[in-house]
Structure 1
Amino acid sequence: MSGWRVTVDTGRCSGIGLCEALAPGTLEVGEDGHVHALTDGFDQSLLEQVEEAVRSCPTQSLSIERMQTE
């Protein structure tokens, strides 16, 4: 089985929250003003939403990596 993980470069993140709006339940702006992933990974059903969030990030703080799970 495979899945994906979204990572956030908190040094670049401005906490605008566009990604949270595009991928609710996957990304969230925390109290520290930075976006955080809400899960360790996500499956195919959320990939399109998260890809849109990554493409739309004005500070280019997000990336997706494919991971192998057992």
Structure 2
Amino acid sequence: MRIEADLTRCEGLGMCETMAPDFFEVSDEGTVVIHDPSPGEEHRQELTAAVDACPVLALKLQ
């Protein structure tokens, strides 16, 4: 599994960080930073919820 972010869409709203703080952080520049772009399958449920919570659809799981 791989987390991808479209930084041209990211508005730094922080929903991903709220849902999965071990994996996402909103930088001082206002865009998402992914701490572990290739997490294990055991995190799929948490990450799916975080990706689905993004109101601007800037995140996806591959």
Do both share a fold (TM > 0.5)? yes
- 1:23 maps to 2:23: no
Alignment length, in residue pairs? 62
* Correspondence for 1:57: 54
TM-score norm. by structure 1 comes to 0.82
More strand by share: 1
Which residues of structure 2 form unaligned runs of 5+?
Answer: none
RMSD of aligned residue pairs (Cα, Å): 0.9
Unaligned segments of structure 1, at least 5 residues: 66-70
**What is the CA distance between 1:24 and its match in structure 2?**
1.2
Question: Higher Cα Rg: structure 1 or 2?
Answer: 1
TM norm structure 2: 0.92
Query: Percent same amino acid among aligned pairs?
Result: 31
